[in-house]
Chain A
Amino acid sequence: MSSDPHLVEFFLRQGDNALVLGHRLSEWCGMGPALEEDIALTNTALDLIGQSKLWLAHAAEIEGADRSADDLAFLRDAYDFRNVLLLEVPNADYGRTMLREFFFDAFQLPWLKALTDSTDDRVAEVAAKSAKEAAYHLERSAETVIALGDGTDESHAKMMAALDYLWPYVGEMMVDDDVDHAMAEAGVAPLPSAMRPAWDDTVNATFREAQLPRPDTKFAHAGGRNGFRHTEHLGHMLAQMQVLQRSHPGATW
């Protein structure tokens, strides 16, 4: 097995996106606004953490540094994470949590479907498994964005505030870099920018129903998926997520 650094990077990006969003959603466990929502949030978290384990296991294997998926999840520092910034910012209220998940789901479903055609069997297999779950995630997050955006004056105002906060983070998902070009050349994955039309269609259609305006700013924060500069929030999240393995290395139960 060749230890292709670009390929390791690619698997880490997939795994870290799923892990960081999965952890953020799991923070709602026991605190959802209604029992059904609590259950849905945590089931989605479970799917994502399961998917992350599959991606990170391959990353660890290709890396060949004698690390496991768990080592990658629980023993790396913030600057080694490769998730997009959108997924690490705090949940804030329920509306922002769901709008963030919707922005990701709208990218992730076409992305995973495209990855099922990967020349790398490992990528195609994990993507095929994950895409089925992602279809349920998008169905629910889109419905919730519509319900809250087109809900009461208060829910609409909260969604507008969430939109103002989150919008500058969405662009990073669809900006290509050297790793993306290397993957596209090898037939491992399409360019993330190729997801833009599908993402726009889903977001525009959902926003129309949700009575939410689409902001026209093109500004995009960056630095998560290449590890250049994460937000200050990731370190705090990892402190909580990793504390057990940091304090009691190798603990199992």
Chain B
Amino acid sequence: MVEAVSISEAQVWNWLEDVPDPEIPVISVVDLGVIRNVDVRGDDVTVTITPTYSGCPAMSMISLDIELALARKGVNKVALKTQLAPAWTTDWMSSKGRARLEDYGIAPPQPAGGPKRCPHCKSANVQRVSQFGSTACKAQWRCNDCLEPFDYFKCL
């Protein structure tokens, strides 16, 4: 006999920790700060997400990944809510997420508006190439010491 086990909100948050960002798979959607709320009522799970950039094409992928991840845990009644305000900010990115970004070769966002150092050689001698990069959330920079180009996750 299968006993119905009620799920907790903390559990859902834990499961979401394993859902990678589709564009930057080293960080989770939780690290990214797009999960704004998890609400569990009986079998019904409501996950509230907020878009990073208005036109970010990864958002529909993120929604799908969340539904699939929760379905794998046996949660079938998932409602996804999109919330616009307060608008997403890079301040919501977790410190774990920031460290992982740097390990991956993407300089994490800094309040100063530019990367603190090159994610490869850690030199502070860096230069902006373009405020726009391979995805809406990134800018292109280069290191003047190791001469490597790198992505910077720009502040929003």
Contact = CB atoms under 8 A, between A and B. Distances in A.
Interface of A: 36, 39-40, 43-51, 53-54, 121, 124-126, 128-130, 132-133, 136, 139-140
Contacts of B130: 36, 39-40
B134 A124 contact: no
B98 to A, nearest CB: 19
Contact of A46 (B85, B129, B134, B136): B136
Contacts of A49: 55
A125 B82 CA distance: 12
B33 to A, nearest CB: 14
A44 B136 CA distance: 8
A136 B131 contact: yes
Given A46-B136, A125-B87, 8 more contacts: A36-B132, A39-B134, A39-B140, A43-B133, A43-B136, A46-B53, A50-B51, A54-B84
B131 A46 contact: no
A208 B5 CA distance: 69
B132 A129 contact: no
B57 interface: yes
A51 B54 CA distance: 5
Contact of B54 (A40, A50, A136, A140): A50
Contact of A50 (B53, B87, B133, B154): B53
B87 A48 contact: no
Interface in B112-149: 129-136, 140
B56 interface: yes
Nearest to B89: A132
A177 to B, nearest CB: 27
Given A49-B55, A50-B55, A132 B156 contact: yes
A129 B84 contact: yes
A-B complex: 7 closest residue pairs judged by Cβ atoms: A50-B55, A50-B54, A40-B132, A46-B55, A36-B130, A125-B85, A129-B87
Interface of B: 51, 53-57, 84-89, 129-136, 140, 154, 156
A40 B84 CA distance: 24
Contacts of B89: 132
A126 B84 CA distance: 7
Nearest to A41: B132
A36 B129 contact: yes
A140 B84 contact: no
A53 B44 CA distance: 29
A222 to B, nearest CB: 28
Contacts of A121: 85
Instruction: Give the interface centre of A40, A45, A121 by most chain B CB atoms within 10 Å.
Output: A40
A133 B53 contact: yes
B52 to A, nearest CB: 10
B156 A48 contact: no
B85 A47 contact: no
12 contacts: A36-B132, A39-B130, A121-B85, A124-B85, A128-B84, A128-B86, A129-B51, A129-B54, A129-B84, A129-B85, A129-B87, A132-B156
A40 B131 contact: yes
Contacts of A44: 132
A39 B133 contact: yes
Nearest to B84: A125
Contacts of A43: 132-133, 135-136
Contacts of A129: 51, 54, 84-85, 87-88
Contacts of A133: 53-54, 156
A45 B154 CA distance: 18
Instruction: Give the interface centre of B89, B132, B133, B154 by most chain A CB atoms within 10 Å.
Output: B132
